[in-house]
Amino acid sequence: MQRHSVAPRENWQRIVEQQGLTFHTPQSAPGVGNERPYWDESACYEFTSAEIDRLEAAANTLQEMCLAAAQHVIDEKRYAELEIPAEAVPMIEWAWNEEPPAIYGRFDVLFDGSGPPKLLEYNADTPTSLVEAAVIQWHWLKDLYPEADQFNSLHERLIAKWKDVDAYLSKPVYFASADFAEDQLTIAYLRDTAEQAGIKTRQMAMREIGWNERRGCFVDAGKYEDAIRSIFKLYPWESMMEEKFAEQCLRTYKQMRWMEPIWKMLLSNKGILPVLWELYPEHELLLEARFVDGSSGWEPEAGWVRKPMHSREGANIVMKLPDGRKIETAGEYTNRKMIDQQLGPEVSFADASGAQRWPVLGLWMIDQECDGMGIREDAGRVTGNFSSFVPHWFK
């Protein structure tokens, strides 16, 4: 695994905009220490085919381990430890047993090309950066390294997955998200792959989903007032369970096809990390993790990081480096239970100026198999909202 500095393509902004990536350059990122654009093709990562094979195998193993951990939580009724509301449990167990369609997820791992990849967390419910991983970096590869390869069959695999679940879905299939550019782009791309699979779709905002009490169903509150029977929502299940219509969602869950399914709450939850460590202690792909109890101090010990069970984009963490220095991030997840995770190996690479860049590899899962990778990197150890996406290739 090597990091290379390369010359960006001429008019690269126009190129990626034409391919769908409109937020390639943040308007501002005050105080985050990351001066680069979001889509950063001034650098790339090179891998060997053996390293790609190792990453793919690691992600597939982690998927098997996570499913076993979810089964353990269900068998042992450990929902409260994972901050899962009791009212959601019956539908989690129903969906787990019935296996309604599930589309994708992303493991975030540390890897330097020498030791085994180390799992940081599993975004099994609402992962973004999909367009960058599936489309934008693929076109970049064809322009700059046409003879090389890339760990990326995401587009084809998504279309194949939609074809596989087509018979289980009522039409049209709705695609909904919050009003954030990245979420809307991700939803638009997923919708496009479904359309390419021959599925009729509509796109809407989460706030446009209505409830018809007389008909007892969710409806398109915009133009159609049609009943919604199948929907892909890029919106966290833990947030949905705090919404006004959570009760109606649970009451009608069996009559709808929600994607991702509600059992993803077990995996898109950092509480699964201590469970994994309990089930697979000292496993080479894991970092030691433990639940934070009431006797714990307000910050982790040296060499550990404290994370909320439910959070996004590196928010609200406290990292204590081995030398005692502390790194903290702000955010809105201040009322969540926490877990502690041991810090992984220091993985950083020098850029052209000699400054260190810290990459995190996102390994994408579709239909229980790893089909691609995207890399986010930052000037600091925490991958956040303004961290750059950097393309990759291998021989």
- CA torsion sign for 184, 272, 165, 208 is negative
Q: Per the omega criterion (within 30 degrees of 0), is the bond before 260 cis? A: yes
For residue 285, tell me if it sits in a domain. no
pLDDT class of 223 with cuts at 50, 70, 90: low
- CA dist., res. 204 & res. 184, Å (int): 9
222, two tokens = 């915009």
Assess contact for 105 and 122: CB atoms under 8 A: yes
40, two tokens = 């950063």
Phi, psi of 123 (to 5 degrees): -90, 90
For residue 289, tell me if it sits in a domain. no
Residues 80 and 121 in one domain: yes
Residue 382, CB-side half-sphere exposure with 13 Å CA sphere: 23
Residues 210 and 95 in one domain: yes
For residue 275, tell me if it sits in a domain. no
For residue 252, tell me if it sits in a domain. yes
Residues 167 and 305 in one domain: no
Q: What is the pLDDT of residues 360-375, one digit of tens each?
A: 999 999 989 999 999 9
Residues 134 and 236 in one domain: yes
Residues 330 and 210 in one domain: no
Q: What is the pLDDT of residues 135-181, one digit of tens each?
A: 999 999 999 999 999 999 999 999 999 999 999 999 999 999 999 88
For residue 318, tell me if it sits in a domain. yes
Residues 239 and 304 in one domain: no
Residues 328 and 257 in one domain: no
pTM for this model (two decimals): 0.95
Residues 208 and 108 in one domain: yes
Residues 100 and 46 in one domain: yes
For residue 160, tell me if it sits in a domain. yes
DSSP for 16-46 reads HHHTT---SS-S--TTSS--S-SB-TTEEEE
Residues 327 and 224 in one domain: no
- CA torsion sign for 361, 32, 21, 141 is negative
Characterize 165-201 residue by residue with b for buried, 16 or more Cβ atoms within 10 angstroms of its Cβ, and e for exposed: beeebeebbbbbbbeeebbbbbbebbbbbbeebebeb
pLDDT at 294: 65
Residues 56 and 198 in one domain: yes
Q: Count the domains in the chain.
A: 2
For residue 280, tell me if it sits in a domain. no
- Domain around 252: 2-268+349-394
For residue 281, tell me if it sits in a domain. no
What's at 61, amino acid-wise? T
Residues 202 and 306 in one domain: no
- CA dist., res. 372 & res. 141, Å (int): 14
pLDDT at 216: 93
